[in-house]
C-alpha cells in the first residue's frame, strides 16, 4: 500500500511583534531579529508546544501567535497520521505543559523533534539557538538567571502545592 506523501512546513512567528528587532541592540548589545515561536504544519494541522498547555494542534496560522512571519517548506513525509499520533503521545511527557522552559525546553525544541522525525531535517539554527545567543550577552545572562529563578519557583509551586489554611479546611 502506497502512503501519500504529506508536505511538512515550519511556521515561524515573532512573539515580540517586531519589538526585538527595534530594541535588542540597545538592550542586549546585539541585534536579535525576533523572539521566535514555531509550529509544524502537516496533515492540515499546526502542531505546537506552549507553557501550561503542552502539545496542541489547530488550523494552520490560526493560533494565538498571530500570522507567521515566515513559512518554510521542510520537505515531505511518508509517515502516516497514525504513526504521527503515536509519536505525539510519546512526546507528551517530555513536552508536558509543566515542563516548558523558555530557554531549554520550548516550542522550538518541540518543532525540532517533530521536523526531525517527519523529514530527517533540523529547523534553522538561528531559531533553535536564540536563547543561547541571548544568554551570551551580559544583559542576557542576567535575564537568564532571573528567568531560571521564576521557572524554578513555578515548578516548585506545581510539584508542591501550598497547604490549605486550617480555616479553609474546617469550612469545607
- Choosing from 107, 109, 126, 152, which is the catalytic residue? 107
pLDDT-derived band at 140 (thresholds 50, 70, 90) equals confident
pLDDT-derived band at 12 (thresholds 50, 70, 90) equals very high
107 noted as active-site residue:
yes
In 15-158, the DSSP E strands lie at 36-42, 45-50, 54-58, 70-77
Higher pLDDT, 83 or 169: 83
Higher pLDDT, 136 or 160: 136
State the Cα angle at 141 between 155 and 159, rounded to 5°: 5
Of 14-28, 76-90, 157-171, the range with the highest mean pLDDT is 76-90
Q: What percent of the chain has pLDDT over 90?
A: 58
109: enclosing H helix or E strand: helix 107-119
CATH architecture of the domain 6-160 equals Alpha-Beta Complex (3.90)
Q: What does the pLDDT read at residue 166? A: 39
Q: What does the pLDDT read at residue 157? A: 58
Q: Which grid coordinates are listed for 51?
A: 507553557
Query: What average pLDDT score do residues 90-110 get?
Result: 92
Strand, helix or coil at 5?
Answer: coil
37 noted as active-site residue:
yes
Cα 109 to chain center, whole Å?
Answer: 6
The values of phi and psi at residue 22, to 5°, are -80, -40
In the predicted structure, residue 149 carries a pLDDT above the cut 80: no
Q: Helix 138-159 and helix 19-28: axis angle, to 10°?
A: 110
- Choosing from 37, 76, 101, 109, which is the catalytic residue? 37
d(CA 138, CA 141): 5
pLDDT-derived band at 143 (thresholds 50, 70, 90) equals confident
Eight-class DSSP state of 84: H
In the predicted structure, residue 135 carries a pLDDT above the cut 90: no
Higher pLDDT, 34 or 150: 34
Query: What average pLDDT score do residues 140-153 get?
Result: 68
Phi-psi region of 163 (alpha: psi -120 to 50; beta: other; left: phi over 0): beta
Amino acid at each position: 500500500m502506497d502512503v501519500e506523501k504529506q508536505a511538512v512546513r515550519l511556521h515561524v512567528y515573532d512573539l515580540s511583534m517586531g519589538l526585538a528587532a527595534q530594541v535588542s541592540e540597545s538592550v542586549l548589545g546585539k541585534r536579535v531579529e525576533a523572539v521566535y515561536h514555531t509550529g509544524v504544519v502537516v496533515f492540515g494541522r499546526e502542531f505546537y508546544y506552549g507553557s501550561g498547555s503542552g502539545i496542541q494542534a489547530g488550523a494552520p496560522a490560526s493560533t494565538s501567535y498571530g500570522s507567521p512571519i515566515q513559512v518554510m517548506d521542510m520537505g515531505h513525509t511518508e509517515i502516516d497520521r497514525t504513526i504521527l499520533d503515536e509519536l505525539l503521545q510519546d512526546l507528551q511527557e517530555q513536552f508536558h505543559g509543566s515542563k516548558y522552559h523558555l530557554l531549554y525546553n520550548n516550542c522550538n525544541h518541540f518543532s525540532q523533534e517533530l521536523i526531525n522525525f517527519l523529514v530527517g531535517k533540523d529547523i534553522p539554527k538561528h531559531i533553535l539557538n536564540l536563547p543561547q545567543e541571548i544568554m551570551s550577552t551580559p544583559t542576557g545572562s542576567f535575564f537568564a538567571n532571573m528567568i531560571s529563578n521564576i521557572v524554578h519557583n513555578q515548578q516548585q509551586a506545581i510539584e508542591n502545592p501550598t497547604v490549605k489554611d486550617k480555616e479553609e479546611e474546617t469550612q469545607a
